[in-house]
Structure 1
Amino acid sequence: MSKAYKRMVVVGGGAAGWMTATALATAFPGSSVELVESEEIGIIGVGEATFPSIRNLHKLLDIDEADFLRATNGTYKLGIEFCNWRAHGERYFHTFGDFGALSGPLAVWGQHRRVADPALGPLGDQCLPSMMASQGRFQLPSDQANAFNYAYHFDAVLYAGFLRTLALKRGARRTEGRIVDVARRADGGVARLKLADGRTIDGDLFIDCSGFASLLLGRTLEEPFVDFSHWLPVDRAWACPAERTGTALAPYTRATALEAGWAWRIPLSNRTGHGHVFASRYIDEERARDQLLAQMDGEPLAEPRLLRFTTGHRERFWVHNVVALGLSSGFLEPLESTSIFLVQSGLGRLIELLQPGPAPTAQMVSAYNTSMARQFARIRDFILLHYCLTARRDSKLWRAMSTMELPETLAFKIHAWRQAGVLHQYDEEGFDATSWLAIHAGMDHWPDRADPSLRDMPPDTALRGLHLRRDQIASTVAAMPTHDDFLRGVLARRGLNN
């Protein structure tokens, strides 16, 4: 790795801290990686739903899937079911799969709307993982013809512990202690940390994973915060685990829109994670707590815990010799399960810049900051899309979200879709065009006019093709095991070899 950063210090444990320590120890074997955390402070861990990119991280870290699932009470995730977002009683699915071609005469969504045959069923029947989710089935992708993506649900506290064991085996060191002071260098960077018992920890590069406290980047370096709450006004969350009911394990997350926010449901193998994300300007905390408890489908296993936050990010993510990852760098509400994705994205870029050679230049650091800021903004826009297309007018939140002035980047995307059916993509996108299509379709938001190229295919040909695609998908799904059976099989089979 770069000689300028021989000693790397990770501040804070939790998922972000131990992801960072594990990745650095794996990428730079023999290097000095030290993680400082305090048992007094604890970590924020409320159950985690993830994005498919986590599988790429696990592959790079050589993590066995079954070992990971067993250690974290994990389950599989095919996407997110959204309930009551467009209107009460309506639901749609954001899939991790695809709908075939997205443009031209072979565009599945375009031909599906053009032929408008009720016998075809919903557009989701043209997508393999959407049908799998609706029937509670799962198996790993088998070949290119049966390809789809998937992610996981897991216990975030157990995940941090799982990664901690892995990081320590690969040479990282853990130091227990509460940081009480931060010494600065002459150039403004961080020189060392002072712990409550008087010990000091020197470093060349400090990775701030201290959560909402943002101990180094926010509190010490006083990096300004870019506030997104004008567009994303939710600023509180009640979280509470519940007993797992006798119902089958759903291979998807559920997000149910409520009066002033939305409730999550995350199925783990041993319990169910529940939470209510809400805007305190539109509902008081106790009423929001009551609405969470009313949503829960099992007995609470603990008292609901309240989290307070502001959506947005630090103006810069890398300042002097401090890089922030996770909550210390910023936060976007967990509607699309992007928290770990953003850690992974920043971590991947960081590791690229720490490869052997001279220290990253000021231009490289600036490019890092620009890329991360753009990614936060792109994901902000995607989350906001769920809110701004609503037909609901039954509460102050939904009325406000339906009429707000949108960021220019999102306004242009919506314009391009409405006018020409174009799913425009910027650089640093967090979600591909298929994901944007899933939200537009789910919210019944369609272009004002059809693509003329759709008429290049005769209607009867398009209809036969759509029926064939749907029937092939239905046949494939019918042969799959249930999610419960598949998960039990994976864990039992691998468990015999441990």
Structure 2
Amino acid sequence: MNPAVPARIQRIVIVGGGSAGWMTAAALATGLRGKGIDIELVESEQVATVGVGEATFPSILNYNRMVGIDETEFLRATDGTFKLGIFFHDWRVKGEHYFHSFGDLGQLAGPHALWGQHRRLGLAGNLDHQSLPAVMAREGRFVVAEPPKPPYDYAYQFDAALYAAFLRRLAMQRGVRHTLGHIVDVQRRPDGGVAGLLLADGRQLTGDLFIDCSGFRSLLLGQTLAEPFLDYSHWLPVDAAWACPTERVGEALPPYTRATALEGGWAWRIPLRSRTGNGHVFSSRFIDVEKAREQLLQQLDGAPLAEPRLLRFTTGQRQRFWVGNVLAIGLSSGFLEPLESTSIYLIQCGISRLMVQLTEGGPLDDEAVARFNEGAATQFRRIRDFIILHYCTTARRDSALWRHVASMELPDTLAFKMEAWRRFGVVHQYDEEAFGTTSWLSVYSGMGCWPECADPVLDELPRQEAAQALEGRAQAIRRAVEPLPAHHRYLADRLR
């Protein structure tokens, strides 16, 4: 039986707290204010949140602005720092590195195409020196650029548990009811949807729309409605992570996340103001769990503040994200490994799609829900392909994992993109892309993946003029970065 979409929504129940639950609650309380819709969030103290997603990318600024969060107040409350991109180490081969930064790489087409002239002139290496935020990150400098058109974007690195607590206070101030209780039964409607929740103490919660933010459990969409799970582990074989916080070392505070490729996966390092978040994402198919733990400990640059914690997961997504009167947001809808910090982004996208449905005034019918599901699932696949790109372009063959990802069959959508780039130098973009052409170019160049031939239009620019243009841009970037404050000093001044 296919549950019916609720004809009218007067009461929304959010199942689960954490980042997903409280981001959803804060957004709904803000966007639906004055519309007479009751919002309640129920969470159990017996269920721990994952709480290791401490890095984001620039879209988080849009969410914070939408719910009216002051940036300085947010940074102070969440132990936050600024992020200009991700530093990738040892991914193509051991000893090499590159940045995926949040800035442009010059003109992308025509005779002045920066990357095209770079390759035409036979210059070695990636394009980091041509990216303003990449050079800023390398030098440990940061400043919020002045509007109206900043030359680069930025994101944040923060404590996810503190962020959830910050949003909880905000959501409750705006009318969200917070219920603590352990759900022992999900009551069904005659058409197969969810009618209510039974708590361990006997209380019952009813609603018109239930938003599943229960994490990997996927209590409503997965367990109750049995929505099929599409497994992506044949492309993204990592299935576990060790996480461990450490003491902050030294005064410097890198304005970027670090991802270091290891034997059976990769290690993250995320600098916060008071501590550093560390983890080792790995595939238990290719490395022993305890060996992965040892390799994490070898990566630490400070004293551990807790014992490493093991997390298990499967990469993939639910076939549909919204079924009847149940909508999943966050880990309950699916999970793509944390390589590009997309978990909070996907939460934000789910919230945005829901808000459009609830506020545009159109009918909330099967067709609307189908559009929601199609867009959300497509976006999930687009991000999946971008993450796979980091693995399949490797030149490493020194362990079983890297040999596997270098030879595996790719999704057709990614294979087409890579062929268009290899043969014609075209960075093809589909609909529902999360990462733009500059992001794809950053990874292509960083992994030494270049087109087989150059566009003849590049020859219209004399070689000496092209070389001068490249060097002139690089020098201009160096001059712009030199007077900028160190990241830790800029933060200290902002938070004083």
- TM-score interval (norm. to shorter): over 0.9
Structure 1 segment 307-326 matched on structure 2, within 5 A: 307-326=311-330
Shift of the alpha carbon at 1:357? Answer: 3.6
Residue 284 of structure 1, CA deviation: 1.2
% same residue = 62
The offset of 1:123, in angstroms, is 2.0
Which of the numbers 104, 109, 121 marks the counterpart of 1:115? 121
Superposed, which structure 2 residues align to 1:159-170 within 5 Å?
159-170=163-174
How far off is 1:127 after superposition? 1.0
Q: How do 1:34-113 residues align onto structure 2 when only pairs under 5 Å count? A: 34-113=40-119
User: What are the residue-to-residue correspondences of 1:420-435 with 2, within 5 Å?
Assistant: 420-435=424-439
Q: Does 1:140 align with 2:147?
A: no
Change (3 A) 1:145 1:366: closer
Of the three residues 274, 297, 307, the one matched with 1:293 is 297
Aligned to 1:202: 206
Aligned length: 489
**2:441 is aligned with 1:437:** yes
The aligned residue for residue 260 of structure 2 is 256
Q: In the alignment, residue 99 of structure 2 is paired with which amino acid?
A: F
Q: Secondary structure at the match of 1:237?
A: strand
Output aligned runs, 1:412-423, within 5 Å: 412-423=416-427
Q: Secondary structure at the match of 2:179?
A: strand
Give the distance between the partners of 1:275 and 1:21, measured in 2 at CA.
Answer: 29
Q: CA deviation at 1:113?
A: 2.0
Q: CA, structure 1 residues 452+423, in 2 after alignment: closer, same or farther (shift >3 Å)?
A: same
Which of 261, 267, 274 matches 2:278?
Answer: 274
Aligned to 2:393: 389
Name the CA distance, whole Å, in 2 between partners of 1:392 and 1:129.
28
Counterpart AA for 1:241 = P
* 1:358 Cα deviation from its structure 2 partner: 5.5
Deviation at 1:359, TM superposition (A): 4.2
* Residue 473 in structure 1 maps to residue 484 in structure 2: no
Contact 1:81–1:93 under 8 Å retained in 2: yes
Amino acid aligned to 1:51: F
TM-score (norm 2): 0.97
Q: 1:337 corresponds to which residue?
A: 341
d(CA) in 1 for partners of 2:67, 2:331: 22
2: CA distance, partners of 1:233 / 1:394: 17
Displacement, 1:465? Answer: 1.8
* Cα deviations by residue, 1:54-108 (Å, 9 ceiling, x for unpaired): 0000111110001000000000000000000001111111011011111111211
For 2:293, the aligned partner's letter is R
Counterpart Cα distance in 2 of 1:198 and 1:359: 35
Over 3 Å counting, the alpha-carbon distance change for 1:263 and 1:117 in structure 2 is closer
Write the letter of the residue equivalent to 2:111: P
Indicate conservation of the 8 Å contact 2:98/2:126, yes or no.
no
Distance 1:144 1:168, change over 3 A: closer
Aligned partners of 2:427, 2:243: CA distance in 1, in Å? 35
**Structure 2, unpaired ranges of 5+:** 1-5
Alignment of 1:348-427 (within 5 A): 348-355=352-359, 357=361, 359-427=363-431
Contact map agreement 1:3 1:358 (CA 8 A) in 2:
no
Counterpart AA for 2:75: L
State the 4+ residue runs in structure 1 displaced beyond 4 angstroms. Answer: 143-146
Q: Secondary structure at 1:276's aligned position in 2?
A: strand
Q: Does 1:19 find its partner at 2:31?
A: no
What pairs with 1:122-133 in structure 2 (closer than 5 Å)?
123-133=127-137
Shift of 1:38: 1.2
Cα distance, 1:274–1:234 mapped onto 2, change above 3 Å = same
1:287-312 CA distance string (max 9 Å, x none)? 11111111011111011111100000
Q: Distance in 2 between matches of 1:428 and 1:357?
A: 23
1:5 and 2:9 correspond: yes
CA distance in 1 between partners of 2:42 and 2:471 (Å):
58
Task: Give the CA deviation at 1:115.
Answer: 2.7
Opposite residue 183 of structure 1, the aligned amino acid is Q
The residue identity in structure 2 corresponding to 1:479 is: P
Q: What is the root-mean-square deviation of aligned Cα atoms in Å?
A: 1.3
SS in 1 for 2:205: strand
Deviation at 1:41, TM superposition (A): 1.2
The one-character-per-residue Cα deviations of 1:2-37 (angstroms, maximum 9, x if unpaired) are: 971110110000000000000000000143110001
The yes-or-no answer on 1:346 pairing with 2:327 is no
Aligned-residue offset at 1:274:
0.3
Q: How far does residue 116 in structure 1 lie from its aligned partner after superposition?
A: 3.9
CA distance, structure 2, for counterparts of residue 401 and residue 225 of structure 1: 22
The structural deviation recorded for 1:453 is 1.0
Match of 1:495 in 2: none
Q: Which moved more, 1:462-471 or 1:426-435?
A: 462-471
Q: Using the alignment, how far apart are the partners of 1:416 and 1:399 within structure 2? A: 24
Contact 2:143–2:484 (CA<8 Å) still a contact in 1? yes
Query: CA deviation digits over 1:462-490, x for unaligned, max 9?
Result: 22222221111111100100000111111
Aligned pair 1:485/2:489, yes or no? yes
Unaligned runs of 5+ in 1: 493-498
Cα shift at 1:356: 6.0
State the AA in 2 paired with 1:484.
Answer: H
Q: 1:132 to 1:314 in 2, by over 3 A?
A: same
Distance 1:276 1:106 in 2: 41
Check if 1:151 corresponds to 2:159.
no
- The one-letter code sitting in structure 2 at the alignment partner of 1:87 is V
2:177 to 151, 159, 173: 173
Matches of 1:429 and 1:384, distance apart in 2: 14
Relative distance call for 1:343 and 1:256 in structure 2 (3 A) is same
Asked if the contact 1:235/1:311 (under 8 Å) is kept, the reply is yes
Which residue identity lines up with residue 196 of structure 1 in the other structure?
A
**C-alpha distance in 2 between matches for 1:38 and 1:146:** 43
